[in-house]
Chain A
């Protein structure tokens, strides 16, 4: 039986768009969409017209002009003669480094704290609760500034190392100063050099062949090690006895790497006090360290809560069953609860990674030259191209965020429960 009457034999009439329930909602949506598009079109054309009246039409020519300013932390070669585009690239790399370091430490800390918060030990659980509540409820900018101020005010100055008031740590290999931390750097006395890509353009970069060689050896080692595992599995399946392979599996990874390092003449370059500052070694600036610590601790508090809720969401029966089988609490957590909790933890974890990356734009508060400091900071100020630089910055943050979330979604899909 048909509830809807037969369509009008006389054909389609325009009044149906409004009075016919089959079309009405569509009509409303189309009209709203047109209005919305018109509104955005009006906004854009209004902005463009106003900028043209001001004599500042939107254009990106400034990106090709010399930046004329220096950046302290550069991951690629850069001088003040390079373009604004390259200065922006330096900022982007600084943002990515900070976000990468921050995400890793925040995850490690967050998982540990989240698990400890559920501990049966009253003191540990309360201390972790205190930590989480303290870090979650104070703006991250304040944490960044306080860590930075503590570093500046309490660590020794480089010239105090000369007068003997301060000394280097860990067998004279690490110098902790109020300007940052100097750690030994890996050097290769007969290295393979670098290959340079993209010629002399603003986006040129070099890749260390030493690093590539090491990665290849590592990759091959892991591959061989897996082969050994498969063959051991096979033998176990056939004979029921598993051959001892752990030393083989480790040595196929480690020995080739040691061999390659030796061939390349690997040694450590130690920082040394020369002139005003330490020279040599890898210099981690106080601004980077302050941001790293503050962002990690802050985001870890949120991740800890995600981990806690994920663990508590796993049915109690699971752990009871594990205990009934005599599995120790530690192994219950690692083998039974965490793998199931991970499925619940990962989606909110993605948004914490995105938050950390976006929060890294507070870097200018401590003078860290990230994307906000270079492209949307000094370049904006020196060229007066507010709209262009900010739009570019927004687009770049959007791309970074989308990349992180697609990567994490891919991982999420690989661990989530496969349902039939």
Chain B
């Protein structure tokens, strides 16, 4: 009797888990919070302040999704993940969406069974070295000791770069950005390599950023973006179109300053009206309400505002828009139309 009860419990638990896995949207709404995987700490992208409040470029994506789905940009549980643990965390359902400088690659999309919702930052792998070392090009690095975050695409690019240039190196694999920083500053490695944005962010936190240079070579393409589990297309659509809404808002000139005004009643531009739900019902097609995108944009502003506030030229990190300018300004940031 006891045994059958035991098995019954297990079976029930399994079925419950099976149903729960059916719809991430329902799960998130039932839980009342979005579980968002972020980095363990990368200034400008995802960093918790002294009060434990997360802020940053990737964090803004999480907050926008939470605002669209739950109506509250603060209803997010941030789960810090390392380069190594992030995919397991997403695949196992520990997080609902992963926004952690993750490069969109074929094998991650197809073989690891994830769904990339788009690109929120076009990046490439670079190298940082102390100026005192006198290195001007990554090709001068023959025999250097290189600190690298393990479990990332940079690890593979690094091997390819040194092999194709016929130079040797000594890799020092490290779990998190903070440890890499400590080893680099202590001189346990000559060079630190990661995505150029990560280098800029790390360098900005140094006591003397000017003593370090980022070498001119960019050795890879690193399109970074948020991702979700494969198989829940509706949830994938929500994250994808939330990101698109932020991008489109910049293109159409919808900012955190004027969004209340635009959302209040339909204006002249039909695409703004569709985006903000004053016309049509795009939100209903996603299983959300009409004002979803309006709330998503209201949290942190549009894509351009998020960029400037967290990592733009006026912040300590000081990254220029470059490739990440809107397509109307000659960049690659481009959203499919809201129609």
B residues 73-102 touching A (CB-CB < 8 Å): 83-84, 87-88, 91
Q: Nearest-CB distance from A288 to chain B (Å)?
A: 12
- A381/B170 contact (C-beta < 8 A), A274-B143, A276-B144, A373-B150 known: no
In the complex, the answer to whether B171 meets A72 with C-beta atoms within 8 Å is: yes
- A382/B142 contact (C-beta < 8 A), A55-B113, A56-B113, A153-B186 known: no
Partner of A279, one of B113, B143, B173, B187: B143
B residues 145-189 touching A (CB-CB < 8 Å): 145, 150-151, 155-156, 158-160, 162-163, 169-175, 182-183, 186-189
Partner of A276, one of B159, B188, B190: B190
- A70/B159 contact (C-beta < 8 A), A276-B144, A367-B173 known: yes
Partner of B151, one of A54, A377, A386: A377
A residues 134-190 touching B (CB-CB < 8 Å): 152-153, 157, 159, 178-179
In the complex, the answer to whether A382 meets B170 with C-beta atoms within 8 Å is: no
B9 at the interface (CB under 8 A from A): no
Partner of A367, one of B91, B107, B172, B190: B172
In the complex, the answer to whether A381 meets B171 with C-beta atoms within 8 Å is: no
In the complex, the answer to whether A364 meets B188 with C-beta atoms within 8 Å is: no
In the complex, the answer to whether A178 meets B155 with C-beta atoms within 8 Å is: no
Residues of A within 8 A of B163 (CB): 79-81
A275 at the interface (CB under 8 A from B): yes
In the complex, the answer to whether B143 meets A276 with C-beta atoms within 8 Å is: yes
Q: Nearest-CB distance from B314 to chain A (Å)?
A: 35
Q: How far is the CA of A81 from the CA of B159 in the complex (A)?
A: 9
Residues of B within 8 A of A79 (CB): 163
Residues of B within 8 A of A54 (CB): 91, 113, 230-231
In the complex, the answer to whether A68 meets B160 with C-beta atoms within 8 Å is: yes
Q: How far is the CA of A277 from the CA of B190 in the complex (A)?
A: 9
What size tier do the contact residues of chain B reach? 35 or more
B323 at the interface (CB under 8 A from A): no
B320 at the interface (CB under 8 A from A): no
A109 at the interface (CB under 8 A from B): no
Residues of B within 8 A of A81 (CB): 163
Q: How far is the CA of A197 from the CA of B89 in the complex (A)?
A: 41
In the complex, the answer to whether B160 meets A179 with C-beta atoms within 8 Å is: no
Residues of A within 8 A of B83 (CB): 381
Q: How far is the CA of A286 from the CA of B187 in the complex (A)?
A: 12
In the complex, the answer to whether A373 meets B173 with C-beta atoms within 8 Å is: yes
B14 at the interface (CB under 8 A from A): yes
Q: How far is the CA of A293 from the CA of B58 in the complex (A)?
A: 40
B111 at the interface (CB under 8 A from A): yes
- Which of A54, A79, A384 gathers the greatest number of chain B CB atoms within 10 Å? A384
What size tier do the contact residues of chain A reach? 35 or more
Q: Nearest-CB distance from B29 to chain A (Å)?
A: 24
- A378/B174 contact (C-beta < 8 A), A152-B188, A276-B144, A276-B145 known: no
In the complex, the answer to whether B187 meets A157 with C-beta atoms within 8 Å is: yes
Encode contact with B along A269-285: 1 for CB under 8 Å, 0 otherwise: 00000111101000000
Encode contact with A along B275-311: 1 for CB under 8 Å, 0 otherwise: 0000000000000000000000000000000000000
- A277/B170 contact (C-beta < 8 A), A378-B151, A381-B151, A384-B87 known: yes
B22 at the interface (CB under 8 A from A): no
Q: Which residue of A lies closest to B84 (CB)?
A: A381
A46 at the interface (CB under 8 A from B): yes
- A286/B188 contact (C-beta < 8 A), A68-B156, A69-B156, A70-B159 known: yes
Q: How far is the CA of A383 from the CA of B87 in the complex (A)?
A: 11
- A275/B143 contact (C-beta < 8 A), A46-B14, A377-B150, A381-B87 known: yes
B339 at the interface (CB under 8 A from A): no
Which chain B residues have a beta carbon within 8 Å of chain A's beta carbons?
3, 14, 83-84, 87-88, 91, 107-108, 111-113, 133, 141-145, 150-151, 155-156, 158-160, 162-163, 169-175, 182-183, 186-190, 230-231
Sample of 18 further A-B pairs with CB below 8 A, known A159-B133, A364-B175: A54-B113, A55-B230, A68-B156, A70-B169, A71-B171, A72-B172, A275-B143, A276-B144, A276-B190, A277-B145, A277-B170, A279-B143, A365-B175, A367-B174, A377-B150, A381-B87, A381-B150, A383-B111
Residue pairs across A and B with Cβ atoms less than 8 A apart, 12 shown, are A68-B159, A70-B169, A70-B171, A152-B188, A159-B187, A364-B150, A365-B175, A367-B172, A378-B155, A381-B83, A384-B87, A384-B108
